[in-house]
Structure 1
Amino acid sequence: MRFQASSMNSNRRNRRKKKASVQGLYDLCKVVFAECGPGIVPSQKDVSRLSSYLEKMKPEELGLSPSMPYFRHTDSDLSPPPVTYLHIYQCPKFSIGIFCLPKSAVIPLHNHPGMTVFSKILFGSMHIKSYDWVPSSQPSDESSTFMNGEERLAKVHVDAVFNAPCANSILYPETGGNMHCFTAITACAVLDVLGPPYSNEEGRDCTYYDAYPFSSFSGGMSVPSEDGEYAWLRGRTQIPSSFKLDVSEYEGPAITVR
């Protein structure tokens, strides 16, 4: 009887811990993004606090496991397979969600205008390639570049495979790899926190890009510097046809909005 009571108490504590983990993430995001907005990055202290919290989160605390149907490639006619997004919470200041990628799934190269983004690989192996714009001496903005279908020079920030558990990916409005592409080497789940979230009404729509080698449009110009890899990015007018995104209900521990 003593063992059974101890086991029951342990189960209760584990359930409380599960809810506290997701609830705690929401509570912390409310503080971290309270004074932030488009292009306004949280303080370094707050960035570190949120990153440290995410580092400790486990898939089971979000009700996830690799055996769930989101992570299985069931339709052989779709290649790459569809990605599922589990929406947890969104307000004008931030959003929280999970991307579920079967093996070989791809989230195409896209941007995060004016945002600070935290990405935590909960399980699996993923290739990430990200870019930042190279500052131009000519007055230009991303929207005009996109609308005119012109290429703009970018520098590769990351081009590597990450295996969970690993450090979070943190990107900023102008640095840190604001434009990135995810490719699932194995089935994997990514917890994403965006501050502020995408908003068509406020001009923070998601732009997708095609990437071309530097030599494609260099016109004889020399590489800006020898300390990295460069590419030309061209904004797309439509979402890539190969990218299928399903939005599904999040069924993990709930949060209390307050």
Structure 2
Amino acid sequence: MDIRDEAKSAMEIVNVPPIVSTYRQALHTFDDKYKNDLNTNLLKLKSMMNNLKAEDLGYDNTLSDPGTWRRPNKAPCTYVEVFQNSLVNMSIFVLKPGFKMPMHDHPHMHGLLKVIAGAVRIRSFTEFPLKEAVNEIDFAIRAKHEAARIAHGIHRRRRLFATISQDSICAANSETCVLTPTISNYHEIEALEMPAAFFDILSPPYDTLIEDIGPRRCRYYYVANEISNNLVELQETKVPDCFYCDQVPYLGPYLG
């Protein structure tokens, strides 16, 4: 490689769009080949997401116009699919002013959430006592128990205790929020006075298979009982009627 080729190569690296670098790091982070370095790679991915801005994702600023959300029959939430494969789902959600995305879970998933427009209140919950699988045998036992619960049908909806692990306002200058299969795995997200948008990465995506259970379903909850300032009881419920989305295309740099 001569000097001109080296300069061109360096320039290409410098000019990689931030979302493309983030996409590549996400695939690396959640690739089973690198699972021994998951925590290190997760921190790197979080750091890269901290610097993402709305324009890096081709965000349509008309979605931040309150007038957009006053149109007849406008859904309270707009979904943008950025990228999805068997490893990760990358997407943008835009919420109308004052709308609360209902509390939901992320079964056996990691997730990262970065606000890119407006501001939201995020309340996250961690199951109590913390039931973290210590090895593959323990995980398999829990998985079979969960499969049996689901097989019993809707009348066996979950009820669980949880601690409040986050209750804060996040804006475009806030750090990325992280959830794991056990920590902050339940959350609700509420837009404030203006429309709000956030970019998130989930791994594995919803609907991928969990061994001995089946598809990775999203379940919804509400606070059924407040035990103390930091301890609540959550009750699984049906998908709230108020929560539905329309969809617009992703307008940012090509991924994949």
TM-score relative to the length of structure 1: 0.76
What is the match of residue 172 of structure 2? 164
| Superposition pairs of residues 54-65 of structure 1, within 5 angstroms | 54-65=49-60
1:194 corresponds, among 166, 191, 202, to 202
After TM superposition, give the deviation of residue 123 of structure 1 in Å: 1.9
Could you tell me how far apart the structure 1 residues matched to 2:224 and 2:247 are?
30
Q: For residue 212 of structure 1, what is the amino acid of its counterpart?
A: A
CA 1:200–1:33: 2 relative to 1, 3 Å:
closer
SS in 2 for 1:73: helix
Within a 5 Å distance, the mapping from 1:65-214 to structure 2 comes to 65-68=60-63, 72-75=68-71, 82-135=76-129, 144=149, 148-175=156-183, 177-185=184-192, 186-199=194-207, 201-202=209-210, 203-214=215-226
What is the correspondence of 1:9-28 to structure 2 with a 5 Å cutoff?
17=15, 20-28=17-25
1:174 Cα deviation after fit: 0.4
Count of equivalent residues: 223
Give 5+ residue unaligned stretches, structure 2.
1-10, 132-140
CA 1:42–1:244 in 2, change beyond 3 Å: closer, same or farther?
A: farther
Counterparts in 2 of 1:229 and 1:36: CA distance versus 1, 3 Å = farther
Change (3 A) 1:88 1:194: same
Partners of 1:44 and 1:135 in 2: how far apart? Answer: 23
The percent of aligned pairs where both chains have the same amino acid is 23
User: Is the CA contact 2:91–2:201 (under 8 Å) kept in the aligned structure 1?
Assistant: yes
Structure 1: gaps spanning 5 or more residues: 1-12, 216-222
**Where has structure 1 moved over 6 Å in runs of 4 or more?**
none
Q: Indicate which of 23, 29, 32 corresponds to 1:32.
A: 29
Q: Distance in 1 between matches of 2:43 and 2:221?
A: 30
Cα deviation digits, residues 124-182 of structure 1 (max 9, x gap): 11111111111289x9766638751352111111112222210110000001x110000
**1:42 deviation in Å?**
5.8
Match of 1:6 in 2: none
User: What is the TM-score of this pair, normalised by structure 2?
Assistant: 0.77
Structure with the bigger percentage of helix: 2
The 2-side partners of 1:188 and 1:34 are apart by 31
For the 8 Å contact 1:66–1:187, the answer to whether it is kept is no
CA distance 1:150–1:196, change in 2 (3 Å): closer
What does residue 48 of structure 2 align with? Answer: 53
Q: C-alpha displacement at 1:198, in angstroms?
A: 0.6
Following superposition, the deviation at residue 253 of structure 1 comes to 2.1
* Pairwise CA RMSD: 2.9
Q: Which residue of 1 aligns with 2:245?
A: 245
**Matched residue, 1:230:** 231
Judging changes above 3 Å, is the alpha-carbon distance between structure 1 residues 67 and 115 closer, same or farther for their aligned structure 2 residues? same
Q: Is residue 87–residue 203 contact of structure 2 (8 Å, CA) maintained in 1?
A: yes
Measured in 1, the distance between the counterparts of 2:208 and 2:63 equals 32
Distance 1:136 1:47, change over 3 A: closer
Relative to structure 1, the CA distance from residue 120 to residue 241 in structure 2 (aligned partners, 3 Å threshold; closer, same or farther) is same
2: distance between equivalents of 1:32 and 1:70? Answer: 35
User: What is the CA distance between 1:70 and its match in structure 2?
Assistant: 7.9
- Shift of the 52–242 alpha-carbon distance from structure 1 to 2, 3 Å rule, reads same
CA contact (8 A) 2:157 2:236 kept: yes
Q: Residues 36-92 of structure 1, C-alpha deviation per residue, up to 9 Å, x if partnerless?
A: 79xx796221011101111111101111154337863124777xx611110011111
Contact 1:70 1:102 in 2 (8 A): no
* Whole-Å separation in 2 of the counterparts to 1:36 and 1:206: 27
1:199 deviates by: 1.2
Residues 92-111 of structure 1, C-alpha deviations (whole Å, 9 max, x = no match): 11111111112112210000
SS in 1 for 2:19: helix
